[in-house]
Amino acid sequence: MVRHVTIFDTTLRDGEQAPGNTMTPEEKLRLARQLDALGVDVLEAGFPAASEGDARSVREIALELRRPVIAALARCHERDIDLAGEAIREAARGRLHVFLSTSDLHLEHKLRMTRDEALELARRSIRQARRYTEDVEFSAEDASRTDLDFLCQVAEMAIAEGATTVNLPDTVGYALPEEYGRMFEEVRARVAGADRVVWSAHCHDDLGLAVANSLAAIAAGATQVECTVNGIGERAGNAALEEIVMAGKVRPQLARFETSIHTQEIYRTSQLLAYLTGSFPQPNKAIVGRNAFAHEAGIHQHGVLQHGLTYEIIRPESVGIPRSTLVLGKHSGRHALERRYQELGYDLTEEKLTQLYRDFTALADRKREVLDEDLLALLHESFHDAPEEHLLTHLRVICGSVNAEAEVRMTGPWSGERSAQARGDGPIAAAFAAISEILERPVEVINLSLRSVTPGRDSVGQVFLQCRIGGKSLSGQGASTDIVEASARALVHALNKERHAERLEATAYNSTQHWGV
Ligand code: KIV
Ligand code: ZN
């Protein structure tokens, strides 16, 4: 029998929790819209008690997205549950997700509680959550290391109190597939009322087994899996959504489950997340890595050309990776650009097309062939989540064996243009020093990473910057065939976000949140 498995996406909560993945509320909303297009059933939008920013994000997502269930996480604390309940109040379908550790290790060393105390606290919390919604999920954190009798006792209580989903997480990625599957079988067989609830798996990848464990749980009766796009998440990450979904699609006879995911949206979602966080999947990452469909060996290339299925178990188009047939260049017109974006799955507004055509012609002047990856970089670059108040109008650097020197001109919220010259250890340091001087903002660089968007010497360089400005953690990104210019653009992007954050704070918006880092 083929069962429907609910895809519970936690990219915006467990995924975002990992260092370096933090997104602004605007970025979260943009990703949430794409997760909706991807077809996730449940979208865990955040942890409202973590910050006012998280609470606001959950509220905004719940207000706008009416199809998926919007979940908010809460510890078994009264205040957490109230905040999560408030955050999903306007949702068309809201879920309150409460969790408590159940393993003796966590009870003794983290919560300093007895089993009985934990059981009572979980009971009170589920009751409180039920006052906000009928859709309550209970997670027994560290379930895979919990004594089985106690786990059954907790699960039975959760069902009796009205939880509708019971999640048994492998919080520290410790379980092996057979063992994790057996836990689901035994708990489901022993607990009264087991057939009244949805059983959910939530796996971390510390041993590289998160997807295998999720599949084992499905085989053992779980009908919900919690996962993240690109497998991002704490430490080694969470189970990768795209891998679970495609395992079910490619091996239906064995896996015997289906999902509601629109697989053609997988690549687009993966790329959007990567651009928002600056963290791209490793090249050999299954399904979405740059090399996932590249065939270097001649014998493989020959086979794939004769018949795709010889060495390819998934058609790239089925996950939204277009096989490029059209290369654009400086003679390509606006119409060709619009058509290529359409083929890549993006319908552009007239205004966006005008902006992108301008950026495209500037790029085509510097680069002979403009490839799909370049177009994606231009598109993502064009979504500045903060108004572009500071603009870089001129950059010149001199570098070599002597100290580098940069000359920068900018326009901004001041009348007219400002310029500065500065020196630095290298061209990027010099450009940053000149920008800092113009804006009178000291900048502390935390990390700067560079990625070449396409192969080739004329490739566009994409710079992702993490920095601190005025006590705030910020991220910025910039793209150019010149990596010094790309870095300067990334810094200006971060500075624009800082200005945007200041404006929001001035309208009484909480300032403790992170702005993109
Ligand atoms: O890993 C975990 O146990 C969690 C819970 C909060 C579900 O993320
Ligand atoms: Zn987790």
For the residues of 417-468, what is the DSSP string, one character each?
A: EEEEEEEESSHHHHHHHHHHHHHT--EEEEEEEEEESSSSTTPPEEEEEEEE
Last residue of a domain, one of 242, 277, 312: 277
Do residue 156 and residue 21 come from a single domain? yes
Report the pLDDT value the prediction gives residue 304, as an integer from 0 to 100: 67
Q: Does ligand 1 have an atom closer than 6 angstroms to the CB of 44? A: no
Q: Does ligand 1 have an atom closer than 6 angstroms to the CB of 99? A: yes
Do residue 225 and residue 327 come from a single domain? no
What total number of domains does the chain contain?
3
**114 occurs within a structural domain:** yes
Do residue 323 and residue 273 come from a single domain? no
* Percentage of the chain exceeding pLDDT 70: 94
pLDDT tens digits for range 268-316: 999 999 999 888 999 999 999 988 887 656 666 666 667 777 778 999 9
Asked which of 31-45, 92-106, 161-175, 407-421 is least confident by mean pLDDT, the reply is: 407-421
**82 occurs within a structural domain:** yes
**489 occurs within a structural domain:** yes
pLDDT tens digits for range 464-498: 998 888 877 778 889 888 999 999 999 999 888 88
CA of residue 157 to ligand 2 center, whole Å? 22
Ligand 1 atom nearest to CA at 204: 1
Do residue 173 and residue 205 come from a single domain? yes
Q: Does ligand 1 have an atom closer than 6 angstroms to the CB of 14? A: yes
| Integer Cα distance of 116 and 416 in angstroms | 69
Report the pLDDT value the prediction gives residue 144, as an integer from 0 to 100: 98
Residue type at 317 in one-letter notation: E
First-last CA distance in the chain: 45
- pLDDT band, residue 509 (cuts 50/70/90): very low
Q: Does ligand 1 have an atom closer than 6 angstroms to the CB of 169? A: yes
Pocket test for ligand 1, best of 8, 10, 12, 14 (most atoms within 8 A of CB): 14
Do residue 327 and residue 210 come from a single domain? no
Q: Does ligand 1 have an atom closer than 6 angstroms to the CB of 233? A: no
**94 occurs within a structural domain:** yes
Q: Domain containing 403: what range? A: 391-507
Do residue 273 and residue 303 come from a single domain? no
Pocket test for ligand 1, best of 95, 165, 202, 235 (most atoms within 8 A of CB): 202
CA of residue 75 to ligand 1 center, whole Å? 10
Q: Which of 31, 478, 460, 465 is nearest to 270 (CA)?
A: 31
CA of residue 395 to ligand 1 center, whole Å? 47
Do residue 304 and residue 183 come from a single domain? no
Do residue 300 and residue 273 come from a single domain? no
Q: In 265-392, where does DSSP find H-type helix?
A: 266-277, 298-306, 334-343, 350-366, 372-382
Do residue 115 and residue 206 come from a single domain? yes
Last residue of a domain, one of 252, 277, 302: 277
CA of residue 171 to ligand 2 center, whole Å? 5
CA neighbours closer than 13 Å in the CB half-sphere of residue 270: 24
Do residue 360 and residue 303 come from a single domain? yes
Q: Does ligand 1 have an atom closer than 6 angstroms to the CB of 202? A: yes
pLDDT tens digits for range 165-204: 999 999 999 999 999 999 999 999 999 999 999 999 999 9
Report the pLDDT value the prediction gives residue 151, as an integer from 0 to 100: 98
Ligand 1 atom nearest to CA at 226: 7
Instruction: Collapse the DSSP code of 201 into the 3-class scheme (helix H, G, I; strand E, B; otherwise coil) and give the result.
Output: strand
**Distances in Å between the alpha carbon of 413 and those of 299, 474, 490?**
59, 20, 19
Report the pLDDT value the prediction gives residue 175, as an integer from 0 to 100: 98
Q: Does ligand 1 have an atom closer than 6 angstroms to the CB of 199? A: no
Q: What is the CATH number of the domain that holds 222?
A: 3.20.20.70
**85 occurs within a structural domain:** yes
Do residue 302 and residue 220 come from a single domain? no
pLDDT tens digits for range 316-347: 999 998 766 567 888 889 999 998 898 888 88
Last residue of a domain, one of 370, 401, 427: 370
CA of residue 150 to ligand 1 center, whole Å? 18
Q: How many CB atoms lie within 10 A of CB 67?
A: 12
pLDDT tens digits for range 434-443: 999 999 888 8
**264 occurs within a structural domain:** yes
pLDDT tens digits for range 356-386: 999 999 889 888 888 888 888 888 878 767 7
Q: What is the CATH number of the domain that holds 396?
A: 3.30.160.270
Q: Does ligand 1 have an atom closer than 6 angstroms to the CB of 139? A: yes
In this structure, the residue with its CA closest to atom 2 of ligand 1 is 171
pLDDT tens digits for range 196-248: 999 999 999 999 999 999 999 999 999 999 999 999 998 999 999 999 999 99
Residue type at 81 in one-letter notation: I
**380 occurs within a structural domain:** no
Q: Which ligand is nearest to the CA of 47?
A: 1
Mean of the pLDDT values across residues 42-57?
Answer: 94
**513 occurs within a structural domain:** no
Do residue 74 and residue 116 come from a single domain? yes
Ligand 1 atom nearest to CA at 167: 7
